[in-house]
Amino acid sequence: MNDFCCSSTHIEGKRPSTATEPGSHTLSEMSRKDLLRDLQLYNNDDGNAEKDFQDWKKKFEKHYDSPEEEARRKKLWLATRVTITEHNKKYKDGLETWTMGVNQFTDMDDDESPCGCMNSHRGKKKH
């Protein structure tokens, strides 16, 4: 089973190996600069989070049944942006080989499954 199928984030791109082993690709300095320039790092305290959330909802055509549900989803969305930023900082420092970014699942919690696989890779029990 694909461990990423239920992720509320997605793999933006995989950084090629800098090794010269057979079949590997060397990452040019220009490509690395491009990847770092486009790296998604978020600051939920910069005053833009509300606009970013509204833009994200519009992009992914998100509609919620109540103000309470929207507030809950926004809280999840903000927390996921923190996770994305922490991961992408590790990528920037060379500690990860792939990047994360927001997608249509960014407002989902760990118990929800966008693909029906019930998060079995996380060791959760099916109900």
**pLDDT for 16-42, tens place per residue?**
333 334 444 455 555 767 777 778 899
Architecture in CATH of 1-15+67-127: Orthogonal Bundle (1.10)
pLDDT value of position 27? 52
Put simply, whether the predicted model's pTM sits higher than 0.95 gets the answer no
Counting as low any pLDDT under 70, the low residues of the chain are: 1-30, 32, 116-127
**The residue type at 48:** N
Enumerate the domain spans of the chain.
1-15+67-127
pLDDT value of position 24? 43
The distance between the two most distant Cα atoms of the chain, rounded to a whole number of Å, is 55
Contact 71, 115 (CB under 8 A): no
pLDDT value of position 47? 94
CA distance 98 to 14: 5
